[in-house]
Structure 1
Amino acid sequence: MRLHRLEVSAFGPYAGREVVDFDTLGADGLFLLHGDTGAGKTTLLDAVAFALFGKVPGARAEAKRFRCDVADRGTPTEVTLELTVQGHRFRIVRNPEYERPKLRGDGTTKQQAKASLTWLGGPPSGQPPEGVTRVDEVARTVERLLGMTGDQFFQVVLLPQGEFARFLRAETKDREELLEKLFGTQRFFDAEKWFSERRQQKRRELNEHRQSVREWLARIGQVAREEPPEDGAADWVADVRNRTSEAVAEAKAAADASATARERAAAELDERRTEADRVRRVRHAHESLAELAKEADLRAEWKTELTAARRASAVTGLAAEADRQRERLDGAVEGDRRAWETLVARGRADGRVGSELDGGELGGEPDVATLRTRAGEVREEAGTLAGLVEEAEQQHRDRNRLRELVETSEHATAQAAALGEKLAGLPERTRQLRSELDAAAEATVRLDAVRTRETELARVLGEAERVPTLEQDAARAREAERAAVDAHQSAREELLDLRARRLAGMAGELAGELREGEACAVCGSEDHPAPAANRDGVGEAEERAATEAEQAAEQRRSRAAAARHEADTALAAVVERLGDRTADQLRSEVDEVRAELATLTEAAGRKDRLEQLVRAGEAEYEDLTAQRTSAEREAAAAEEQRRALADRVEQRQRRLEEAAGGFADVAARRAHLTELSGALDGLADARAELREARARVDEHAEAAAEAARTAGFADVDEARAAARDQERIAELEQSLADAEQAEATARAVLAEPELFGVEPDRVVDVESARQAVERARQQAEQDAATLQEHTRRARDLDTLAGELDAVLRRLAPAEEEFAELDALTEVVNGRGQNARRMSLRSYVLAARLEEVAVAATARLRSMSHGRYSFVHSDAPGSHGKSGGLGLDVLDDYSGMVRSAKTLSGGESFLASLSLALGLADVVAAETGGALLDTLFVDEGFGTLDGETLDVVMDVLDELRAGGRVVGLVSHVEELRQRIPTRLRVRKARTGSSVRIEGGLDGDIGVA
């Protein structure tokens, strides 16, 4: 990873938009961010972290306040970072969430967080070429490219203030938390979790097995009605099963005995019930015969009534039929009257039939044959009109068809005319569209060339507009160089003057040091006859101050000369590229080209639309032509059909008017004739029915009188009085039959052999025998239930014992498997037989920490002149705490291993920096960190003396090998003299500024 450019706007203490060029700043591989405390040095690193991951390292992440409090209301808070990772250069622009003023009205509104990632070259495989615009997706893309998370980046690339001093002195738990973040030991944590979860699962399964054993024992105890013992369950189950088998045998013997007693009692009861039934049957037969003797007279009356009713039944049927025939005659008379009235009403509508009714052959009472003959004639006449009715219906349909044909012809003619009008203007319109399309195609061809020319002219114009600024910069640079030269000459002259004055006053200086009786430091004499006087009083301190001032002036002169040379070079390059063209000429050319470009762009943009319009116009012309031809054909066909149909309608109309006679139409006349023939047939039928009814009445009356005389009745009325309905006859027959049957049954019972000699008054004791059977039944059922209970209990015990044996067979291997898993889980989690009290995760972290200690020792020994080296300890902690992450230092001066807490402040910084660099190397190697070309070290150099600082700088110089860039963040003044390229952050009353020193300058306004 290499950083190129950082821009911040209203971020942290920076109120405006500030730019840091890391390519220029890190050209030598080592640069310094320096300035006063609180000036905003670390904020630049926070801006890098925020651009990459949307968060900042350390405790500052909790505040989540990124916007500058004194920034202008309209200035957005934004961070832009350009960098290269794995050969892919891209730009990240990120805005945090903050409150901004509303665009309309008063108050504020929340500005949502935004982020975008734009590829400045080809995108990596699998990435969209247009970049990424989602906040979370930008961070994930950066993590995939870097191969590390934000927390790892903060520890590996942005070595933070004081973090590794705390890590050096941290307890095992705190050190473990940081290492977990850096080395991603989640998979080992998952393994520990898997073992723990597996053990819990197996413990649950084992408990389920044990609970199953307890449940089966409890069920066996419930069946056996005993409490199962705590131990010896198998022996107890066997004993219970033996005792249950003995109880089954005893219960079976008792059940067999009671069943035999029950059978004997039942046999005795059956005998007594049989005897009692014979007595009951004899007694019932005697009682039935006595009752029948009492009803003998009543049965004689029933027989007389039944005999008379049977004789009268033959007469009543004929009398009823005679009555029905009289009712039929009355109905026939009424039907004849209604049929005559109907015929008269239908015949009056026809003149010819009306005359026949008034005095012709239908007048009076015509016979049936005459009526039927006339009805046939009328029906035949109506039949001849059936075909004409169908023609009348066709006539109606043809008239409707004539109207439709007229309308079709008129519509088709009008449509053909309208389509002709549309077709008239289409050719001219199509020619115009083709002309516009040709112009648009030509504009498309010219567009690329004009666009390229506009881009080139705009670039040259931008350089031309920079000429006044470059000239002013060059003039200011020359003026600054002259001022620096004058200041340097003045400082040099002052230094030379001070040196001359000091040399002149050196004798006075020596004289001032002479003491009476002491030898002179120059000549060795103890006699001082004429000591010189020191009049000017210029000493070593004044000379040293003047020398430093002269050196500072010389450095400013060198920087001013370099700045002047750069300004002149930039101006000369621009002037050379411009040639003779001025900014006004270029601006005019740009305006002309841009106008031409806008015209061509507009014309080219219409090309696709014009192509569609031309194709649509041609298609429309063909479609309209086909439609007009179709309309003309349709109009001609409709007119031809109308003329032919009109002739047929006129001829048919004359025939229909002649057939209709005086009626509205042929259908009306045919309907009238149909109704008239029906009326004639109706009257004929009524006359025939009337004649038949009269003959039947006389015939049935004579038959009924003859039947009454034959049955022995004086007349029909006497027969009707003796008649009975079928229900009464059936009742009499049933009563007489029941009496005969009862008498026969009773005598048959008395005649049975088994009832011979049985007295009807005899008493048989059945109840005592029944009670004895009930007692025997209860005892037998009780013994059977006891046998069933013991049998069921034995069967249940056998089943439960089998289940218990199966559970016990599964319990043994489950206990062995759980014991093995439990011991292994304890070891993995740092307990049990794990003597070092190290979990699997701690063991892995201890191996990583050992690698870190080896990598950090190489730099610590160099920084401490071979005195100190790191020592990793995997000893368990005190009071049973987990171990494996101990980190001490070996002091080669004493040969003793010391705690890191005993190091002095400077030694702690050296150890912390070595540890940070070693950890960075190990994490970089773990995550593919050969691509990490940029590293920042934040603060801590103020605790070092000059010699140690030299050693530390040598180590940092080594980090630049292979093109790596190292940035130091410090306010230590001595680092400014050692590092040629610096970025200064200076805090003032109204703001701060950031300036790149060492041959470059530039201001960044910061609040």
Structure 2
Amino acid sequence: MRLHRLSVTAFGPFGATQEVDFDALSSAGLFLLHGPTGAGKTSVLDAVCFALYGAVPGARQSPGASLRSDHAPPDLPTEVQLELTVGGRRLEVTRSPSQPRPKKRGEGFTMEKAQSRLRGYDPERGWHALSTSHQEIGEELTQLIGMSRDQFCQVVLLPQGDFARFLRADAEARGRLLGRLFDTRRFAAVEERLAELRRGAEAKVTAADERVLALAQRTAQAAGPAGVEAAPVTARPGEPGLAEAVLAWAAIARSTARERLDTAHAALAAAEDRQRAARRALEAERELARLQQRYAETLRRAEALEERRGEHDACQERLERARRADRVAPALELREEAERAHRAASDGLDRARSLLSPELRDAGADRLAELERTFQQELYALDAAREAEERSAGIDGERLRLNREARADDELIRDADAWIADWDTTRTALKERVDASQEAATRAERLAGLLAPARRRLDAAHRRDALAADVRQAEDRLTGAREQELDARKSWLDLRERRLRGIAAELASGLVAGEPCTVCGSAEHPAPASPGDGHVDRATEERALAAQRSAEEARAQAEQQLGRVRERHAAAETEARGDDGHTSLAAAELQALADRLAHEHAEAHRLAAATNPAREALAAAEREHAERLEQRQEAHGRMSARTAAREALDAEQARLEERIAAARGASASVAEHADRLTRRVARLADAATAVHAEQEAARRRKEADDRLSDAAFKAGFDTPEAAAATLLGAAGQRELQHRVDAWQAEAAAVADRRAERDAREAAERPA
């Protein structure tokens, strides 16, 4: 890091702007900051630290301490500007602490917030802004410098005894700082890596020893108590010589196991030879027994097969007769179907004849058909009379409809007359509702204009009352601050006077034999003054001065706070009086006024909300009045039309009644007479159809009998009944075929097994 230029304004002891050109100072390599106490040497270092980190070193950054110069005019702001090169970048940082400044309007001071600005230099663009954030600027500079404020003050600045504190620090604290300054992390990393490798190697050796011991234990368990004479190694993992001891013990165990293995191999070979011979003998005996059992089983199956031969022959004969009877089955089914059809036709004929009159029950088909045609012609002649009867019934329905419509129109006319009679009263009431709602809307607008100012005055009165207490508290604080300031000034002046009285002793303490006096210039000091009782030194006076300045600043802040509170109280008082400048009212009076206006406004707004419904009700009533007038006129017109329609219906119904009376005869109506004829025609038609169906079914039954007799003779049966008794279903035939096939398959299998030579020879040998 290299400093180029420092500019301080109203900072510390510097009341005006001072600049330090570090480039000119460092042109010879080194430069020295030298001057008497209070000349501002430490303040230059404080300014550099404040520009970099926004704070000054050590106790000078204690709470309540001010960085602003007491010698600066009020309108000159405190500011520090530092131009430097760090991390290969040329930067300019400007900082201003939190400080009071005169108000732009009115008297007094206001507190200005702390500000920071950072600029960077680019050969192409020149100076350009980088950031105005305290946090961003602090992080950027700390990262580029590589040290915090405390580390920078300890290592770089080392002002006024801080170097001694660094030397007295413990080794760990100095190690952390120096390690960061000189980057000793690589040595620590190498040391940590070597330790990690050592720990890894130890873990691998211990794990390998544990595996070797585990293998030795497993070997001893496998060898058994008589396997190895020497005991396995009992050393712990990680001890030297463990692997060699395990290898020696394993060699003894291996040789013993090999001897036991050779002996076991010889015994095993002999036992396997004896086992193979015994197995061959056993297999030969088992094969002989199997062949003997197989031949004996074959003989038993042959005897059982011969016993079932008669059953097999009967099943085969029955199956052949059933297959011949299958050729007669279609004729049998046809005969049964013809018989069922004939019985159904006979039953239908009986039912049809039972519905006829006694003189027609034995009539033939031709007679029945002739009567059907006669009644059908008479039924056709009744169609016109039936239509006339239906029309007459329709006229009765129309007359009833006209009567219902007449009653409805009468009721409508009565309702319309009653409603129209009250129309004037209804319209007047609705118009009065509309007028009242409009008047309420006007009143609501006027009250709304009064309610908002009343509420603002009420809020201002509340603020005024609260700020009055704040004014009294601020006045009390100002009185206390003034008293403290007077006490501090009196104490400082007293200490200053006492110090001036003893200034000779203070100057004498700095005399050195043989060196000239700073006051008289003499190298001889025959009678230096000595401090008397109650002597005050420079530090005590400076602390008293600092206390006096702190009290003065507290008094100024109390005055500023009182001025601000009084301004807010006066503004609230003015707003509470209102625009017309009336006398200020209490908050309770303003609250009552606002509540009364709010209640009146709510009531007027509620009444005004009914304006649109009242207008809609008036418009709806006017529309209903016009509709009722129109409905009454239309009802009168419909009544006239219905009178003419009734006369026409009466004349038409009289003509139709004459035609109906001539056509219905003795029946109650034409429809009843036509229904009777329709039923008679249907019964005659059913009877004629039943006669024809019965004759056709008899003919088909005779043909089926002839075909059945011919089919039974061709199939070899004496009668159709014998063929029917021999019939079997598909399931029965399959059952017989399965039994025949099973007997034949068993016979073939027995013949094959009796032809086996090895089984026959084995049967001749002993069991």
TM-score by length of 1: 0.30
User: Which of structures 1 and 2 has the larger relative contact order (alpha carbons within 8 angstroms, sep 6+)?
Assistant: 1
With normalisation by structure 2, the TM-score equals 0.39
